Amino acid sequence: MKGTKIIIIAGILMTVLLSACNRNAADMVVDGGVTIDEKTNTVTFQGSLTDKQLEPDTPFQVRFYLEGKTVRNALGTDLVYVDGEFKSHKQGEASETIEVRKTIDIKKPEEIDKLVNEIKNKEEKAVTIEIINDAGRIDEEVLHSVSKE
């Protein structure tokens, strides 16, 4: 009986914790992916975002957070910022879809195949697109879509 109570309480606590996770996310990321160009030894990170859930005139930046060990080693960094600051739609205007992209050089081209496998692996968090501003993280999405050219 005592064990059952503990299990029920633990279940309730887990439900409460999980329901609170990511409750402030704005669901901005519509699509995203990574393109690797083997001829130029570059990686292009891209994302498609919507500002539908944001308040009008909200400033934000976009970055790609590289968590995977192979990705970090091959690119020589763990953060890739998209140039510029963005703003959500103006008051009274319709929401917009914003396309972002950033291309960087691959420092270790011999690791391209390992890089592709790490990004594609749905069990791993190798590349995450993050939308941030002064108030903190607005939204994020792990990217697993990768192609080679």
Report the 3 state secondary structure along the chain: CHHHHHHHHHHHHHHHHHHHCCCCCCCCEEEEEEEEECCCCEEEEEEEEECCCCCCCCEEEEEEEECCHHHHHHHCCCEEECCCCEECCCCCCCCCEEEEEEEEECCCHHHHHHHHHHHHCCCCCCEEEEEEECCEEEEEEEECCEEEC
Predicted local confidence at residue 20, as pLDDT: 40
- Given a cut of 90, whether residue 146 has pLDDT beyond it is yes
Q: Give the model confidence (pLDDT) of 59-96 as tens digits.
A: 999 999 999 999 999 999 999 999 999 999 999 999 88
- Given a cut of 90, whether residue 19 has pLDDT beyond it is no
- Given a cut of 90, whether residue 15 has pLDDT beyond it is no
Kindly list the distances between the CA atom of residue 118 and the CA atoms of 7, 10, 70, 114, in Å, as whole numbers in the listed order. Answer: 36, 34, 7, 6
Structure-token pair, residue 68 = 């995977």
HSE value, Cβ hemisphere, 13 Å, CA-based, for 34: 30
Report all structural domains of the chain as residue ranges with CATH numbers, in order of start: 25-148 (2.60.40.10)
Handedness of CA 99, 122, 76, 39 (dihedral sign): negative
